[in-house]
Amino acid sequence: MVAYYLELARRSFKRNVALTALMVTAIAFGVGASMTTLTVLHVLAADPIPGKSSQLYFVQLDPRPANGYVPGKEPPQQLTRADAEALLRAGTADRQAMMTSGSAAIEPQGAGLSQFFADGRWTSADFFAMFRVPFVAGSGWAAEDDARGARVAVISLALAEKLYGTTDAVGRTIRVAGNDLRVVGVIDRWRPTPHFYDLNTGNYGRGEQLFVPFSTSRDLKLERSGNQDCWGDPVGDLLAVGAPCVWIQFWVELGTPQKADAYRDFLVSYSEEQHRAGRYRRPANVRLRNVIEWLDFKHVVPKDVRLQTWIAFGFLLVCLINTVGLLLTKFLRRSAELGVRRALGASRRSIFLQLLVEAGTIGVAGGVLGLGLAWLGLWTVRQQPSDYAELAQLDPAMLATTFALALAASLFAGLVPAWHSCRVTPSIQLKSQ
Amino acid sequence: MLHMKDVSKVYRTEMVEIAGLLEELTGGHYLLDGVEVRQLDDRARSRLRNEKIGFVFQSFNLIPDLNLFDNVDVPLRYRGLTRGERKKRIEAALEQVGLASRMRHYPAELSGGQQQRCAIARAIAGEPKLLLADEPTGNLDSQMAREVLRLLEELNARGTVVVLVTHDPEIAARARRNVHIVDGIASDLAGGVSVVRAASAAAQSSSHA
């Protein structure tokens, strides 16, 4: 019967093209606006590392001086180099990585390329396994390389192709800020969104091109970037081990909630130990947030995007209310036909389904047009200067959501008119003839 | 063929609606081909209406954007018949009313008489036990009216019970049995004096006609 109802819907559209077009347009605009904002929200609020986001934790300690201490106040969002290196050495978590962002001059050895700067990450060995960084060749470096400041590097696919014209760059030498490093791995295109492991470089920043052991970066005095907070009256090298400055992000991988609890206890013990040693002036004040908690805490999704989404869904609701009115008009106009159908043996259920199929067909048509409008809306978003603009793309999931939304919206809009029309006594409809 | 004559259109229409299961019975009993319809839900009533009753309305009530073939197809669709069976029945019904050559025409392309013949084809395609004709000639000129009446008589002769509602005494004279309804009181003129009360009783009477 569905095929018959679809055929009847087609005839109905042909009979009243203008009214049908109006309904399709109303749904399309509502769906288009909703899907544009929902896609942006979906991209921005996505889990950047699905399946692992609940096992990766961001570590915070509070090494600041006693003055200004307020119990329960949020500790700094980065660690001192001394703390980061101590936690790395302790190795209490399943995996752990210290890191900071930086940039370095790359001097191509081939002809035709001049020196350029590449964004880098100075980190430790577990970084790659912790964050499931995909490799096309080679691998990350070992913990021993961290310990001895090995002259090694991992580079991005784009950098490998730029420098060597091939992704087969493992074993080759890359000249970084005047130093020769051996390439040990080439990573595939990788851009976690949001850029959760370091939000200092922009919530939706691009991935790095160059990865070097943190120890090596300090030996070679590679330039670093990002926030740095110091206290007291620091003198000398602010990046030195003893400097009273926080500038290093520290992530740990903890496979179970029990391990996370244990690690939190460990951080408290560590803080108390530092307090006893006179290094820390404040009572233990630690935080251990997993990826999703960290992104929530940092309010990564812009407020205006959430607001726009609500407004767009409000608009969709207005479009739906209009569609309800138009469908009601359309179905009422066909009361006589529906009365005849009832007289000829159609049950209320049959009429209800027939009209709902018609409303659903309008929804599918609205979905197709809405998809085009969403695509146009996202193209407009991509022209904006915000750092997430280029991410605004429809993926298969959102494509399916567009149709589901259009269908659900039209069925919802069709419910009341269809119910109303199928309840009318056929004799009344026939009398009106 | 049973003829029902009513002074008031209200009672006459109500009687057809109840007999045709378009209105619910508020009192009494209605046995249609041995089935008590009063307790049936909408789905069962619709199925019964589809299988047992054919309607012919005064204003034809063809669906304007369906051609004759598709108009006759409407009740058969709700019967759940196969495509082949439906086609066979539609063609046979249209053949019977003399419209076989016009099955791809739309109602607006036909005369009133032809439209009513198509409505009769639609009513008989489902092979109903009871054909309810409410003023079937009311909108036709006399020649076309005769054509339609002849068709109804043929159907009746082949075994279909035809209940024809009219206020035209000429048409009434052609029926085998006449029931008069005056102010809701039905008088069966078939066998002397027989007075039954209310439209529901008349409906019961018609079902056994």
List the domains of chain B with CATH numbers.
2-207 (3.40.50.300)
* pLDDT for the residue numbered B198: 45
Instruction: Give contacts of B126 with chain A, Cβ < 8 Å.
Output: 345
Q: What is the pLDDT of residue B197?
A: 47
What is the pLDDT averaged over residues A329-341? 87
User: Which of A344-348, B8-12, B51-55, B97-101 is predicted with the least confidence, judged by mean pLDDT?
Assistant: B8-12
* H/E run at residue A331: helix A303-333
**Residue B113: per-residue pLDDT:** 86
> For position B195, what pLDDT does the model report?
46
Q: How confident is the model at residue A147 (pLDDT cuts 50, 70, 90)?
A: very high
Mean pLDDT of B153-178: 82
Residue of B nearest to A430 (CA): B61
pLDDT in tens, A202-242: 766 678 999 999 999 999 999 998 889 999 888 888 888 88
Q: Are A24 and A372 in contact (CB under 8 A)?
A: no
The per-residue pLDDT for B112 is: 87
Cα-to-chain-centroid distance, residue A252: 20
Question: Is residue A98's pLDDT more than 70?
Answer: yes
pLDDT of residue B2: 60
Residue A248 has pLDDT above 60, yes or no: yes
Q: How many CB atoms lie within 10 A of CB B7?
A: 12
Residue pair A152/A145 in contact by the 8 Å Cβ criterion: yes
* This prediction's pTM: 0.69
Residues B47 and A350 sit within 8 Å (Cβ to Cβ): no
B184 — pLDDT class (breaks 50, 70, 90):
low
The verdict on A22 and A157 lying in the same domain is no
Measured CB to CB, residues of chain A less than 8 Å from chain B are: 1, 4, 11, 14-15, 336-337, 339-350, 425-427, 430-431, 433
Q: How far is B191 from chain A (nearest CA, A)?
A: 32
Residues A64 and A159 in one domain: yes
Query: What residues of chain B lie within 8 A of the CB of A433, using their CB?
Result: 57, 59, 61
Among A229, A264, A297, where does a domain finish? A297
Report the C-alpha gap between B10 and A321 in whole angstroms: 39
- Does residue B131 surpass a pLDDT of 60? yes
**B3 pLDDT higher than 50:** yes
* Rounded Cα distance, A124 and A152, in Å: 12
Q: Is residue A21, in this structure, part of any structural domain at all?
A: yes
More confident residue, A305 or A96: A96
Write the DSSP assignment of B21-76 as a string of letters: TSS---SS--EETTEE-TT--HHHHHHHHHHHEEEE-TT----TTS-HHHHHHHHH
Gap between the Cα atoms of A188 and A165, Å rounded: 15
Cis peptide before B107 (omega within 30 of 0): no
Residues A161 and A179 reside in one and the same domain: yes
- Which of A249, A270, A297 is the endpoint of a domain? A297
pLDDT grade for B12, boundaries at 50, 70 and 90: low
Q: Of the residues A235, A264, A297, which one is the last residue of a structural domain?
A: A297
Question: What was the pLDDT predicted at A95?
Answer: 96
Joined tokens for residue B80:
């759940």
User: Are both A339 and A425 inside the same structural domain?
Assistant: yes
Helix (H, G, I), strand (E, B) or coil at B2: strand
Q: Are A336 and A430 in contact (CB under 8 A)?
A: yes
A165 lies in some domain: yes
Q: pLDDT (tens digit, 9 = 90+) per residue, A15-55?
A: 889 989 999 999 899 989 988 888 888 888 888 898 999 99
Mutate to test the interface with B, among A13, A344, A354 (most CBs of B within 10 A): A344
The structure tokens listed for A202 are 């922009």
Model confidence at A122: pLDDT above 50: yes
> Does the distance separating the beta carbons of A431 and B74 come in below 8 Å?
no
Instruction: Flag if B43 and A341 touch (Cβ within 8 Å).
Output: no
CB contact under 8 A, A350 and B46: yes
pLDDT of res. A45: 80
What single string gives the DSSP state of each residue in B73-120? HHHHHHHT--HHHHHHHHHHHHHHTT-GGGTTS-GGGS-HHHHHHHHH
A34 or B2: which leads in pLDDT: A34
pLDDT band at residue B40 under the 50/70/90 scheme? confident
> What is the share, in percent, of chain A residues with pLDDT greater than 90?
53
The per-residue pLDDT for B20 is: 85
| pLDDT at site A90 | 94
Distance (Å, whole) CA B144 – CA B127: 24
The owner of tokens 């429809």 is: A394
Report helix, strand or coil for A319: helix
Q: Give the integer Cα–Cα distance in Å for A4 and A353.
A: 11
Residue A6 has a pLDDT of 92
Q: Is the pLDDT of residue A154 over 90?
A: yes
Over residues A286-298, mean pLDDT = 93
Chain B closest-CA separation from residue A313 CA (Å): 37
Per-residue pLDDT at A211: 97
Alpha carbon distance B86, A240 (integer Å): 90
pLDDT above 90 covers a percentage of chain B that reads 23
Parallel, antiparallel, or unpaired: how do β-strands B31-32 and B2-6 relate? Answer: unpaired
Residue A430 is predicted with a pLDDT of 61
Please report the ipTM that was assigned to this predicted complex: 0.83
The residue-averaged pLDDT of A395-423 equals 85
Q: What is the pLDDT of residue B164?
A: 84
Residues A240 and A371 in one domain: no
Task: Quote the tokens at residue A107.
Answer: 């001097």
Measured CB to CB, residues of chain B less than 8 Å from chain A are: 13, 17, 20, 22-23, 42-43, 46-47, 49-51, 55, 57, 59, 61-63, 65-66, 74-75, 77-79, 122, 126
The answer to whether residues A79 and A15 belong to one domain is no
User: Which of A118-132, A298-312, A346-360, B194-208 has the weakest average pLDDT?
Assistant: B194-208
Percent of chain A with pLDDT over 70: 97
Contacts of A226-230 with CB under 8 Å at 24 or more apart are: A226/A100, A226/A101, A226/A198, A226/A200, A226/A201, A227/A78, A227/A200, A228/A78, A229/A76, A229/A78
For all residues of chain A together, what is the average pLDDT?
A: 89
The residue of chain B with its CA nearest to that of A10 is B65
What does each C-alpha distance from B43 to A317, A339, A345, B39, B49 come to in angstroms? 34, 15, 9, 12, 10
**Concatenated DSSP letters of A77-139:** SSEEHHHHHHHHHHT-SSEEEEEEEEEEEE---STT---EEEEEEEE-TTHHHHTT--EEEE-
- Residues of chain A found within 8 Å of residue B43, distances taken between Cβ atoms: 347-349
Look up tokens 């009273």; give the residue.
A244
Q: Which residues pair with A97 in a beta bridge?
A: A251
Q: Are residues A322 and A266 in the same domain?
A: no
Is residue A51, in this structure, part of any structural domain at all?
no
How far from each other are the two terminal CA atoms of chain A, in whole angstroms?
27
Residues in B touching A337 (Cβ below 8 Å): 63
Tell me how far apart the alpha carbons of residues A386 and A101 are, in angstroms, rounded to a whole number: 21
Report angle CA A177, A180, A182 to the nearest 5 degrees: 125
Sign of CA dihedral A380, A381, A382, A385: positive
Give the number of domains in chain A.
2
Q: What is the Cα–Cα distance from A153 to A171, expressed in whole angstroms?
A: 10
Identify the weakest region by mean pLDDT among A36-50, A158-172, B4-18: B4-18
B22/A347 CB distance under 8 A: no
Structural domain including A64 reads: 56-297
pLDDT in the model for residue B199: 44
**Whether the predicted pLDDT of B194 surpasses 60:** no
φ/ψ of B137, rounded to 5, equals -110, 5
Q: Report residue B190's pLDDT band, with 50, 70 and 90 as the boundaries.
A: low
Mean pLDDT on A411-426: 84
Put simply, the answer to whether B46 touches A342 (Cβ < 8 Å) is: yes
Cβ distance A1 to B122 less than 8 Å, yes or no, reads no
Look-up of token digits 């789905």 = B43
**Cα distance between residue B51 and residue B76, in whole Å:** 9
Could you list the beta-strand ranges (E) of A203-320. 210-213, 224-225, 229-230, 245-253, 287-290
Query: Residue A50: inside a domain, yes or no?
Result: no
What is the predicted pLDDT for the residue at A159?
A: 93
Residues of B in contact with A343 (CB under 8 A): 20, 22, 49, 55, 61
Note the pLDDT of residue A200: 80
Q: Which long-range contacts (CB under 8 A, 24 or more apart) does B193-200 make?
A: B198/B27, B198/B28, B199/B11, B199/B14, B199/B15, B199/B18, B200/B18, B200/B25, B200/B26, B200/B27, B200/B28, B200/B29, B200/B30
Quick one: DSSP state of residue A173?
A: E
Residue B111, pLDDT above cutoff 50: yes
The DSSP secondary-structure symbol of A247 reads: E
Q: Which of B17, B50, B62 sits opposite A345 (nearest CB)?
A: B50
Whose CA is closest to A229, among A245, A206, A244? A245
In this predicted model, which residue has the larger pLDDT, A277 or B136? A277
A370 and A275 co-located in one domain: no
Q: Are residues A126 and A162 in the same domain?
A: yes
Q: How far is B82 from A85, CA to CA, in rounded Å?
A: 79
Contacts of B174 (CB under 8 A, 6+ apart): B1, B3, B149, B153
Question: Does residue A290 sit in the same domain as residue A318?
Answer: no
Q: Same domain for A255 and A125?
A: yes
Residues A262 and A154 in one domain: yes
